Amino acid sequence: MRILLADDHGLVRDTISSYLETEGRAAVVAVPDYMAAMKTLSSEDPFDLVLLDFEMPGMNGIDGLSDAITQFPEQAFAILSGTAPNKIAQQAVEMGAVGFLPKTMGAKSLVNAVRFMIAGETFVPASVLSMDGDVKESDFSRQLSQREKQVLHGLCRGQSNKEIARELDLQEVTIKLHVRTLCKKLNAKNRTQAALIARDAGFE
């Protein structure tokens, strides 16, 4: 994987680069702002993925994403943010971004999400899409228990069983059992397919 990361916070830049390099064995080019990212894209071969911080200098939020996609239409872009409102994720994807990554994601979840996007899929965490608590429960959700929904949210975010267990304060073996049950209910061959089926069904 060859990735361009643009973020004005040195610590964030170093941390995410380290995640991608050690966990994902990716080659990362890290730059501090939007203009540096555009300059790098102009002078180097296309990257597998470009991660743009939503609030870095020169980005101008969603406008920067639009300009980047216009300048480099063949390049895959994703938004990285710790503070952008949920609606920005939807706007970014509608505009042509391949995903939206919260900076709070764990190392393995981040790497899994990046791999997912590089494989040609769109990634937005289910928790980010869950904007309206009054949305009627779908037939898809009705077949699942509350705990199964929580585990499925974790699968959709690319979390490992251990990460889901830690988040829900459960044993890892319990999560494995829930994943197995989910795969049976959704007629999925594995956890990745279960997450894809959930996304296709509009699970939030």
Residues 6+ apart with CB under 8 A from 23: 107, 108, 110, 111
Given CATH 3.40.50.2300, say whether it is the number of domain 2-124. yes
Which residue is it, tokens 């999400």?
Answer: 113
Q: What is the pLDDT of residue 133?
A: 42
Question: 125: which 2 tokens?
Answer: 């965490």
Q: What is the pLDDT of residue 87?
A: 82
Contact of 33 with 60, CB cutoff 8 Å: no
Residue span(s) of the chain under CATH 3.40.50.2300 come to 2-124
CATH code of domain 139-200: 1.10.10.10
pLDDT in tens, 1-43: 999 999 999 988 999 999 899 988 999 999 999 999 999 999 9
Q: How many CB atoms lie within 10 A of CB 63?
A: 10
Contact of 59 with 83, CB cutoff 8 Å: no
188: left (phi over 0), alpha (psi -120 to 50) or beta: beta
Residue span(s) of the chain under CATH 1.10.10.10 come to 139-200
Whole-structure pTM value:
0.64
> In which residue ranges of the chain is pLDDT below 70?
127, 129-139, 204
